Structure 1
């Protein structure tokens, strides 16, 4: 994955027919486009007064065009269905495929993304919320019951031969947890007080060393907020930075 994972569409978006059918009478707003062509749409009941960025009263549709295997909505649906029993994540309402693409419909969940303009203006608050949210996830999700892996061996197996040759020495496991898998800043939601409320985009969730998440989440602070916010993140998580593990897992992320 590259460092620029997604952004709100800045140009006109054609709403796929499937999304229109799922929306019914709801208003349809494109809110996110990733670099592989996937789109996320917000479905809002007509006349609803839900503030922008607060997802609790809406539904969301992820849609990916046919022939985009890198975006596995079935994998995300399975992980959400498992994780929702333990931690705040979107509830799956529907999923499917047709000739045009695949979709995943979820219920809205309260909170605004940590890269909402409000939190871009208060990056230390956002960094602390991201750290606290990851700690809560790692402490809550049961490793023994998790059927998914995000371990190094599984990730390396998906790399190209050239990338595999450049992985390097794998550090010893510090602590196995159920990792988010894509813990970049946009995937933590915050409430009005700056506290984490939920996590989204869990298509890579699985068991791994917690530093697989910690290294990338702290990495993403620089991309989204600039320099200087890692100390707040690690303080909120409750751990000192581990330079060796951070370097390895950031390198592995970049290889992917």
Structure 2
């Protein structure tokens, strides 16, 4: 079993990329108003900008080496925002060195892996499941222009032979929805009341079987909280676990 690159709040000072510093200065959010809040193992950084007006924005920066397209994420956020709570894109830019910047409006809540929710994993796990169900129910499949199907994912499998093997073993579709695409615990935000409040990091959003999302959301509780909370995600979503589809989509996750 392999794991996706993990992300967390920076544990040490980080250098502010020039595009982020320039954008922040233009908004009056330099110095103490610009705070790094998230670092992933691909080198991507997210900063919170506290504006003099009292507003808050988030600047997400990705180096060219990360292979992440933030313009794709901005497009998906703009599409999803009328239907469900997600960050509204405010500014995006691709720089000469290939790095990218995406600035979004703030949304309410804390990540399900903040210290508050790490300490209350049972409540967080239920909120993750309930939030994912609400996302799936809110986003209209018939109007979605984005694809996250098995065919598209397995075409880009790390091992093409393994991709073909999985394509041949795929179970039938249970229910098509617009999936989050990276429904791991950090991408659900939870309000102080213990209920989900928003979703972030929708760069892979697209149409697929809901088990492609749900199996990973539940799995991620093991990585973030330890064993014993997966069942609460399924309960929060409102379904009984489907062992075959869960195992299959986790293999797809590892293969892609």
Runs of 4+ residues over 3 Å off in structure 1 = none
Q: Deviations over 1:181-210 (max 9, x none)?
A: 000000000110101000000000000000
Aligned in 2, Cα 1:8/1:91: closer, same or farther, shift over 3 Å? same
Q: What is the CA–CA distance in structure 2 between the aligned matches of 1:68 and 1:183, rounded to whole Å?
A: 19
- Measured after TM superposition, the shift of residue 45 of structure 1 is 2.7
Q: How many residues align?
A: 247
Point out the more displaced range, 2-11 or 124-133: 2-11
- Measured after TM superposition, the shift of residue 164 of structure 1 is 1.7
Q: What is the CA–CA distance in structure 2 between the aligned matches of 1:121 and 1:68, rounded to whole Å?
A: 31
The two structures, once aligned, show a CA RMSD in angstroms of: 1.5
The structure 1 residue matched to 2:36, chosen from 22, 30, 36, is: 30
- Measured after TM superposition, the shift of residue 47 of structure 1 is 9.6
Aligned to 1:212: 212
Are the aligned partners of 2:176 and 2:210 in contact in 1 as well (CA < 8 Å)? yes
Q: Deviations over 1:184-243 (max 9, x none)?
A: 000000110101000000000000000000100000010001111122111111100000
Q: Deviations over 1:97-135 (max 9, x none)?
A: 112421000011111100110000000100010010011
Aligned to 2:228: 228
After TM superposition, the score normalised by the length of structure 2 is 0.92
1:233-252 pair list within 5 angstroms: 233-252=233-252
1:141-152 pair list within 5 angstroms: 141-152=139-150
2:103 is paired with a residue whose SS is strand
Q: What is the CA–CA distance in structure 1 between the aligned matches of 2:209 and 2:224, rounded to whole Å?
A: 24
Where in structure 2 are there 5+ consecutive unaligned residues? none
Q: What is the CA–CA distance in structure 2 between the aligned matches of 1:10 and 1:105, rounded to whole Å?
A: 23
After TM superposition, the score normalised by the length of structure 1 is 0.92
Q: What is the CA–CA distance in structure 2 between the aligned matches of 1:145 and 1:224, rounded to whole Å?
A: 34
Q: What is the CA–CA distance in structure 2 between the aligned matches of 1:179 and 1:146, rounded to whole Å?
A: 10
1:130 is paired with a residue whose SS is helix
Q: What is the CA–CA distance in structure 1 between the aligned matches of 2:180 and 2:235, rounded to whole Å?
A: 19
Q: What is the CA–CA distance in structure 2 between the aligned matches of 1:223 and 1:211, rounded to whole Å?
A: 18
Where in structure 1 are there 5+ consecutive unaligned residues? 49-56
